[in-house]
Structure 1
């Protein structure tokens, strides 16, 4: 990757990034590739002076241009970048500390505003953990560093393409961090695989609000743009979350042709953008909109198309895709310009691990007659060029028979080398072999479930998240969609099972948009609506409906529900609950 930036900077000046610090054009900052190379060289010089080639450097800056400069500076110094949350909140601090303890970095690069909190951070680390050097950067630091380059002007170390470039931590539990070791070859391979899907377009312009410490935000936008040489409009994630309109307004203002977002981003745009805001949008420039990171919902896509189609949005630009950090990012995606393919399945068969296709007519009749007897699975497209996907019975470790759901296994140049310091887990995950005698090929076990249909990958859920009740495999994301749709005041949802007197029982956790007193006034109606929706759509009644305040359900950096963490908090009794005062409750539930 550092060689690619050097090549870009050697060409005539070209816009690389347009950063919108507040999510609008009011304070926009533009960098060319020359600007990026100069700022990266300043960071590389600081690291080379400390002889950190081959060492790990935690990158804990806020999303923005300094973050990108520090990333490429780490690459140029021959060090390994470790992206992290900035430690500026309770949850972010816990994750940051777990990463630092696990990877034992020599340097942490952070914003100067955190300089007076080092002692506080280090006090939170175990006594046995190493105390890294801190490098604090801001605009003034970069200006000073520009005049203090190495005398020979050399700001690059020799970098092996098969050596570690980046340590990408998974977005699961902070108590058991797993750092995925990605090489420069992995990073370049991922870019090439995506570009094979996208094709070449001379006028390409990108836009992203995704966190740069998440694989989709980092490998799927920033590195892809530098590799391809096209300008990228960036805004901090917080400004998208505060007002999703800013994403689509940036697409409109900058005539963006390519963007990306997880499923939830399309949901909140549909529900939160007002009619007045909608009238200002023009999405006709979009030719590729990647949607991944979590199961892609057909209902979400339909609602987004209906809302924004009149403003120039063409659904053929949407690219449902599948990937994971252990494969750098990209595994499969819909071919650019083709129609989104939806596979209609018999839901009862799917719950028993079978793939039984329905015609569109049968599916519509089933939905109308039985409130959801049909399951709609959005295809995640063709497998990336140069890669292979097989579907495996995870217990038998043999390829699943046609018409059966199984675990998705992947092999190809995007697959990472393993987890840092976890040889047994690395062997089990990255070097899985089929049980067939003589088959020596190794695969990445993804832990995701799905099937292949007409050469395309269809993802049905996550192996460890399956809710198994009375022998039926229930997919939590489907039930969660039913919960969120059951009542207008419900926002997030997490579904899991717990042991009961007669077997596993279903628990629904949902966030209520309102106060405890407002919940008290509607609790019977809301609980009945949730129970009815889940029972009708999935054939099982919740044993408990836990109402939580907004923000109580644990989420990953990309907006995926952390069901295991939510379940643990529920079982331990630490999950926040929106509890109306007893005298505010209806008599029926006092």
Structure 2
């Protein structure tokens, strides 16, 4: 099928656009843009009025350009107004609505319709499968919504789901929209309303203790504005995303950003990407995409799964901004991706923008400066284990560790690196917890006053009235740029040394080509009354192939960890793909994997006499 080119004519100048801003490190000047108060539903309404025929979204229904569906700003606005009208007709305007629609254009219409109706949107995923259902149930119990907007195929499960709710839970109205739901009656749209709480964003991790992050319309617009300040304005910008629209990067970092900036976004389902990562890069090629985003694992998947014949069909030369938002960003992953795709596709490595963000800050905290290459600092590994930042003589020096910069701080925001125990700023060249302040930072967690005060209400001496978000992430500042080294809770402490699990995982994965994903953590050993490192690794192969390779695998993993990190693993557990537990956004769930290891529920190949595991308590 011949792919219709996306519109790339210059955008009309209008009050909604923001002028490019000067990005400065650390504490910066206030934003020089329209005061917060113009919301995303208002921006969509204005775009539909002034640019009704301009392409807003193109959805690849089967993951390819063969089945592309286009919506203009007018078409999106009509459908959003229809959703808002139906919510009002049901008396739900101003309430809380869980949005659990399949990724696609109806999801976008549902989102903007909920916001337009003055409701609080709760982005979620359809409850497909046991784990997703448990996660969905935990979100519903936590936020007590007035309604759930989900796909008609779940209509037969509503009663079964209601039965799983705790006794005394308020009645939930289930809405199963058909096509007519999104088209409305053709009547004049009701006046736009805005709720104080625009969005409840749930992170992608634990199912047992969900925390709803309360985001306002000002938070959502602020995130768009600082991202645009970082990116600059480009009249021919075209985006592409396969990211789940219920996660912060996929929602605030692509869908909302595209509407705010007025540029078209090509979308495909995350399922279609995972089935065949080639589809993402082919969509970039077909639609001459200039900006895209993906977590670390997505670049790994592309490099390992796209064959030579497919490679020759790709053109990535149009990409100018490629956000990589896993923390910490892997320099090895980025290098492998460039080696694979740079020479043939025209991929420019300087287009990659390592960045750092989290849902508690709406999304964006820092990113690589425009036009510069990816910066990697090679540090003395021994010093790093002691929390000190000391440059190694060169990358080939013994024990040198590469840490990728996540760039300069978002305009109008401040980052401070703090000792997590004393709550005092650390001296220069020390690692500490990353604290953030600025208009992107959320107001807190839903119905969690104590946790909100602890996480969002941190203070520093001499800064009266200033509060900070404690991110739980470790890192340091160097030359005005932020470097993220890991999670505070994931840190492995052995004999007073700080070991970062991702470094151990990287060593394990490189030790043998058949290893897919790995997780490293520590447990308390009853044999030596101290912490020991445990490695869990996925083996790509059959049980017979594993049995033949097990001895060699165990030797290589043990040797790699011992040689590179000075500690011998107390246990190495191998299993089939899926043994390393992951969030729905592709991050390793180390604590969950650890819990499954300790209680013996991790997947495993048939045991062999050579396998030994540490005794834990």
The structural deviation recorded for 1:23 is 0.7
Cα separation, 2, equivalents of 1:158 and 1:210: 29
Aligned to 1:49: 89
Equivalences for residues 176-325 of structure 1 within 5 A: 176-310=209-343, 311-325=345-359
Aligned to 1:365: 396
2:46 alignment partner, one of 1, 4, 7: 7
Cα separation, 1, equivalents of 2:611 and 2:565: 30
Aligned to 1:460: 485
Equivalences for residues 422-501 of structure 1 within 5 A: 422-434=448-460, 436=461, 439-500=464-525, 501=528
> Contact conserved, 1:494 with 1:563, CA < 8 A, in 2?
yes
Aligned to 1:511: 538
Higher relative contact order (CA 8 A, sep 6+): 2
Aligned to 2:13: none
1:536 alignment partner, one of 556, 563, 566: 563
The structural deviation recorded for 1:528 is 0.8
**1:443–1:586 CA distance, 2 compared to 1 (3 A):** closer
Cα separation, 2, equivalents of 1:106 and 1:237: 28
Q: Can you list the C-alpha shifts for 1:516-566, whole angstroms capped at 9, x where unaligned?
A: 222111110011111111111111111101112211222112211011111
Q: Can you list the C-alpha shifts for 1:230-288, whole angstroms capped at 9, x where unaligned?
A: 00000000111111111111101100000000111111111111111110111100000
The structural deviation recorded for 1:416 is 0.2
> Contact conserved, 2:357 with 2:364, CA < 8 A, in 1?
yes
Residue 542 of structure 2 corresponds to residue 520 of structure 1 = no
Q: Can you list the C-alpha shifts for 1:194-236, whole angstroms capped at 9, x where unaligned?
A: 0001101000000000000100000000000000010000000
> Could you list the runs of 5+ residues in structure 1 that have no partner in the other structure?
none
Residue 98 of structure 2 corresponds to residue 58 of structure 1 = yes
Cα separation, 2, equivalents of 1:331 and 1:55: 30
> Contact conserved, 1:287 with 1:317, CA < 8 A, in 2?
yes
**1:176–1:127 CA distance, 2 compared to 1 (3 A):** same
Residue 162 of structure 2 corresponds to residue 122 of structure 1 = yes
The structural deviation recorded for 1:438 is 6.2
> Contact conserved, 2:511 with 2:556, CA < 8 A, in 1?
yes
Aligned to 2:73: 33
The structural deviation recorded for 1:71 is 0.1
Q: Can you list the C-alpha shifts for 1:8-40, whole angstroms capped at 9, x where unaligned?
A: 100231000110011101111110011111111
**1:337–1:123 CA distance, 2 compared to 1 (3 A):** same
> Contact conserved, 1:216 with 1:293, CA < 8 A, in 2?
no
2:594 alignment partner, one of 563, 567, 570: 567
> Could you list the runs of 5+ residues in structure 2 that have no partner in the other structure?
1-39
Q: Which moved more, 1:184-193 or 1:553-562?
A: 553-562
Aligned to 1:352: 386
Equivalences for residues 135-146 of structure 1 within 5 A: 135-143=175-183, 146=184
**1:481–1:138 CA distance, 2 compared to 1 (3 A):** farther
Aligned to 2:172: 132
> Contact conserved, 1:53 with 1:157, CA < 8 A, in 2?
no
TM-score (normalizing by structure 1): 0.94
Cα separation, 1, equivalents of 2:166 and 2:544: 43
**1:442–1:532 CA distance, 2 compared to 1 (3 A):** same
SS in 2 for 1:53: coil
Aligned to 2:423: 397
Cα separation, 1, equivalents of 2:80 and 2:43: 13
SS in 1 for 2:573: strand
Q: Can you list the C-alpha shifts for 1:30-59, whole angstroms capped at 9, x where unaligned?
A: 100111111111110111122323311000
Aligned to 1:420: 446
Cα separation, 2, equivalents of 1:117 and 1:93: 11
Residue 364 of structure 2 corresponds to residue 330 of structure 1 = yes
> Contact conserved, 2:98 with 2:148, CA < 8 A, in 1?
yes
Cα separation, 1, equivalents of 2:84 and 2:141: 24
Cα separation, 2, equivalents of 1:103 and 1:265: 31
Cα separation, 1, equivalents of 2:377 and 2:178: 50
**1:588–1:522 CA distance, 2 compared to 1 (3 A):** farther
SS in 1 for 2:584: coil
1:556 alignment partner, one of 583, 587, 592: 583
Structure number having the greater helix percentage: 1
Cα separation, 2, equivalents of 1:571 and 1:50: 49
Cα separation, 1, equivalents of 2:56 and 2:515: 41
User: How many pairs align?
Assistant: 570
The structural deviation recorded for 1:140 is 4.4
> Contact conserved, 1:293 with 1:324, CA < 8 A, in 2?
no
> Contact conserved, 1:76 with 1:155, CA < 8 A, in 2?
no
The structural deviation recorded for 1:89 is 1.0
